[in-house]
Amino acid sequence: MARFTLPKRHRLIETNRMTENRKLEVWVQETAAMCQPERVVWCDGSDHEYQLMLRLLVQAGTAIRLDGERRPNSIFVRSDPADVARVEEFIFICSRQQGDAGPTNHWRDPAEMKRTLTQLFSGAMKGRTLYVIPIAKVGVQVTDSPYVVASMHIMARVGAPVLEALGPDGEFVRGLHSVGAPLAEHAADSPWPCNTGTKYICHFPETREIWSFGSGYGGNALLGKKCHALRIASVQARDEGWLAEHMLILGITNPEGRKAYMAAAFPSACGKTNLAMMNPTLPGWRVETIGDDIAWMKFGADGRLHAINPEAGFFGVAPGTSMRSNPNALRTCRENSIFTNCAITPDGDVWWEEMTEAPPPELVDWLRRPWAPGNGRTAAHPNARFTTPARQCPVISPEWENPKGVPISAILFGGRRAGVVPLVNEALDWRHGTFLGSIMSSETTAAAAGAVGRLRFDPFAMLPFCGYHMGDYFAHWLRIGASADPAQLPRIYHVNWFRKDPDGRFLWPGYGDNSRVLKWIFERTEGTGKAVETPIGRLPAPGALDLSGLRIPDSSMAELLRVDVEGWMAELPAIKSHLARFEPRLPQGLREDLAALEQRLQKAAVAAGR
C-alpha cells in the first residue's frame, strides 16, 4: 500500500487501540490515513458493542428493531435496491500472473488494481467511523459499515481474544472494506450507504489481501466469509495441503447410535442450510449441524480428512424457509438475529415467501411499499437473508466448535438439475469423484446478481469462490487424494434433489426425505449398502434405498434412478468444452476420466441397441 501520513486529528481520535501486533497497527494507521474516517474504533466483540451497533443502525434509519416478544434482540434491514446480492462481474482475482487466476475468474494486474483502489479508497470513509474487526482464523477486517460490524459479530468469533491469539508478530489476512460513500460535512446519510456506480471486490492471493469497495451486502462486504474463508483460504489450502470448500458439514446418527460425518457442496441457494439442519423422516435417524456453508478440511493424525466450520453463524436465504422445509432454521433465528430485505408485518415481525402457509393479510415489502396477497409481487427479495448465531440451532452438533474438526466419511456434490442427473450416484474412487465435482452444473439462483434459472457449470460449487486457476484446483484435489490411504478417504457422491417430470413438478419430495439418500450413503460407507455399477458410477441396487413410509410412484423412482445414457451422451460436447477451458492445466487424471465416461456411455448405447 502507498504510504500515507495520518493527519493529526485522526491520530487523536483513535481512542482504543487494542493490539501489540506491529504489522496490524501500521496497517490500520495507513488505512486510516488513506480512507480519512472521522474516527477509528477497535472492535472488542462484546455484547455492549453489538448493542451499540444495533442502536446506530436504528438511529440511522438503516434498521428497524423488531417486536421484542416476537423476535427478541433482532433487527430488520432493507438494503439499497441496487445492492442485493453478490456481484460476480465485479469480483477480481489479482494474482501476479494472469494465468494463475484461470479462465473462470476476472483478473486484474495487482499493481494496477491497487492504484485504482487506492484512488477510490482515498477519502472514502470521510464522515464515517473506521471499525477494526479482528476475526478468528485469522484475519482482520476494516470497514466503515456498522451493519457489517453487527453481522460479523454473528458470523464469526470476533474481538479481543483474536488479537491475543495473533500476538505481537502473528500474520493475518487483511480485509479492507468500504461502502464507498463518503459523507460531506453536515450531509444527511442514506439509510443504506453504498456506491451504486462503482463496485470492486478484489483479492490479492499472494499477499493475502482483500479490498472491497462499494457494496454493503452479504458476501461482498462480510469479508470473513466468501472473500477470506473461500477465495483467499483456497489459495492457502493449495499451498499448505488442505481443502477450503463451499460445503455444509453434518453429522448423521443411525438408530443404533452409530455416527458419521458428511460434507456437501451445493451452489448458493440450493438447500445447503436445509440439508445441514434436516429432521429425517426415517424413524430413529438424527442429523446434527456443524456448518451450513464453508468447510475447511485437513488430514488428522488418524489419516482421515477432518472438517471444521470456520464460521459462527448462518447467513441463510430466507424465502422458502418454513416449518416444512427447515423448522430448525426458523427456530435458530427466533432471536438475536438480523433480517435483511424481508417483508415486515404490522406487528413488528418479518415475513418472506413460504414462511407460513398463507401470507399475512398486509405487509410492507422489502421496497417499503404496502403489500397484500395476490398483488403479483414477492414481498421479500428472493435473496433476502437471515443472519443468525449457529449456537442457537436446536440441532447444532456438540462437535461444532471442536478445533480438531470431525472426520468426514462422505462428500456430496449436488446442484439444481431438472433432468439427466440421477438422485444419487457414487463415484468409483477419489479421482472419479474429483471428475464428478469438476463437471457439476446447476441452474443459477438469486444469490448472485444476474439471470436466474440458467444452467451453468459450477465445479465443486466453487465457480464464484475459487481464488486461483480451477485446473490447478482440480489437480490439488487429485493430489490430496493421492497423498492419503484410499481406505481412509471419504467416498464421493453426486446427488440431485431437483429432478422434474415433464410437467415441471419435482419428482423427489426432498427436505427430510433426503435422509433416505443419506442412509444409503451411510450404509455404503459402512460397507453394507448395496449398489449397482453403471456407466456413470454406482447407483442404489433395487430395494437398497429405504422408501418405507414414502408414497412415491414407482415410475418416479424409476426416473430418479434411471441412467439417462442418451441425456449424458447429449451433454458430452458441453462437458468437453467446459473441461477444455482449463487446458493446458487440466490434470491428466480428469482427461482420462472423461475418456472413460465416454467409452462406458458408448458401450451402454450399443448394448441398448441405439
Provide the minimum distance between the beta carbon of 448 and ligand OXD in the complex, in angstroms, as a whole number.
7
DSSP for 531-585, written as a single string: EEEETTEEEEPTT-S--TT----HHHHHHHT---HHHHHHHHHHHHHHHHTTTTS
Q: Which is nearer to ligand OXD, 293 or 443 (CB)?
A: 293
Query: Binders of ligand OXD among 99-158, rule CB under 6 A?
Result: none
For residues 512-547, b (16+ Cβ closer than 10 Å) or e, as one string? Answer: bbbbbbbbbbbbbbeeebebeebbbbbbbeeebbbe
User: Of these, 219, 459, 481, 535, which contacts ligand OXD (CB under 6 A)?
Assistant: 219
Q: Which is nearer to ligand OXD, 386 or 430 (CB)?
A: 386
**Which residue type sits at 244?**
A
Element at 485 (helix H, strand E): none
Provide the minimum distance between the beta carbon of 98 and ligand OXD in the complex, in angstroms, as a whole number.
26
Provide the minimum distance between the beta carbon of 341 and ligand OXD in the complex, in angstroms, as a whole number.
13
Q: Which is nearer to ligand OXD, 54 or 91 (CB)?
A: 91
Compute the CA torsion angle 217, 221, 222, 226 (nearest 10 deg). 100
How far is it, in rounded angstroms, from Cα 412 to Cα 266?
8
Residue 479's SS3 state is helix
Q: Which is nearer to Mn ion, 268 or 274 (CB)?
A: 268
Q: Which does 31 bind (CB under 5 to 8 A by kind): Mn ion, ligand OXD, none?
A: none
* Contact present, 233 and 379 (Cβ < 8 Å): no
Q: Which is nearer to ligand OXD, 214 or 219 (CB)?
A: 219
* Candidate segments 165-173, 286-294, 481-489, 562-570, binder of Mn ion by CB under 5 A: 286-294
* Contact present, 297 and 306 (Cβ < 8 Å): yes
How far is it, in rounded angstroms, from Cα 189 to Cα 323?
38
Closest by Cα among 157, 156, 144, 232 to 195:
144
User: Of these, 83, 293, 513, 593, which contacts ligand OXD (CB under 6 A)?
Assistant: 293
Provide the minimum distance between the beta carbon of 26 and Mn ion in the complex, in angstroms, as a whole number.
33
* Contact present, 497 and 558 (Cβ < 8 Å): no
293 forms part of the interface with Mn ion (CB under 5 A): yes
447 forms part of the interface with ligand OXD (CB under 6 A): yes
User: Of these, 178, 268, 309, 336, which contacts ligand OXD (CB under 6 A)?
Assistant: 268
User: Of these, 175, 193, 214, 218, which contacts ligand OXD (CB under 6 A)?
Assistant: 218
| C-alpha dist (Å) from residue 415 to 91, 128, 571 | 22, 41, 16
Q: Which does 414 bind (CB under 5 to 8 A by kind): Mn ion, ligand OXD, none?
A: none
242 forms part of the interface with ligand OXD (CB under 6 A): no
Position closest to ligand OXD via CB: 268
Grid cell listed for 125: 470513509
φ and ψ of 524, to 5 deg: -60, -45
Q: Which does 87 bind (CB under 5 to 8 A by kind): Mn ion, ligand OXD, none?
A: none
Q: Which is nearer to ligand OXD, 277 or 363 (CB)?
A: 277
* Candidate segments 63-71, 79-87, 289-297, 344-352, binder of Mn ion by CB under 5 A: 289-297
Provide the minimum distance between the beta carbon of 315 and Mn ion in the complex, in angstroms, as a whole number.
8
Catalytic residue among 35, 227, 270, 333: 270
* Contact present, 248 and 234 (Cβ < 8 Å): no
Instruction: Respond yes or no on whether the N-terminal peptide bond of residue 398 is cis (omega within 30° of 0).
Output: no
User: Of these, 10, 71, 78, 86, which contacts ligand OXD (CB under 6 A)?
Assistant: 86
Residue whose C-alpha cell is 455484547: 47
Residue 309's SS3 state is coil
Provide the minimum distance between the beta carbon of 166 and ligand OXD in the complex, in angstroms, as a whole number.
26
Find the DSSP H helices in 305-459: 327-332, 430-438
Query: Binders of Mn ion among 37-56, rule CB under 5 A?
Result: none
Q: Which is nearer to ligand OXD, 144 or 293 (CB)?
A: 293
Cross-strand pairs, 171: none
Q: Which is nearer to Mn ion, 311 or 472 (CB)?
A: 311
Which sign, positive or negative, has the C-alpha torsion 37, 207, 155, 379? positive
Position closest to Mn ion via CB: 293
Task: Please confirm, yes or no, whether 202 is among the known catalytic residues.
Answer: no
How far is it, in rounded angstroms, from Cα 425 to Cα 492?
9
User: Of these, 315, 366, 413, 477, which contacts ligand OXD (CB under 6 A)?
Assistant: 315
268 forms part of the interface with Mn ion (CB under 5 A): yes
Q: Which does 310 bind (CB under 5 to 8 A by kind): Mn ion, ligand OXD, none?
A: none
* Candidate segments 62-70, 209-217, 263-271, 574-582, binder of Mn ion by CB under 5 A: 263-271
How far is it, in rounded angstroms, from Cα 562 to Cα 379?
39
Grid cell listed for 35: 480512507
Grid cell listed for 248: 455444509
271 forms part of the interface with ligand OXD (CB under 6 A): no
- Considering CB under 5 A, how many residues would be counted as binding Mn ion? 2
Grid cell listed for 2: 502507498
Cβ neighbours for 396, distance < 8 A, ≥ 6 positions apart: 288, 289, 390
- Considering CB under 6 A, how many residues would be counted as binding ligand OXD? 7
Q: Which is nearer to Mn ion, 383 or 496 (CB)?
A: 383
Catalytic residue numbers, as ranges: 270
Site of interaction with ligand OXD (CB under 6 A): 86, 218-219, 268, 293, 315, 447
Site of interaction with Mn ion (CB under 5 A): 268, 293
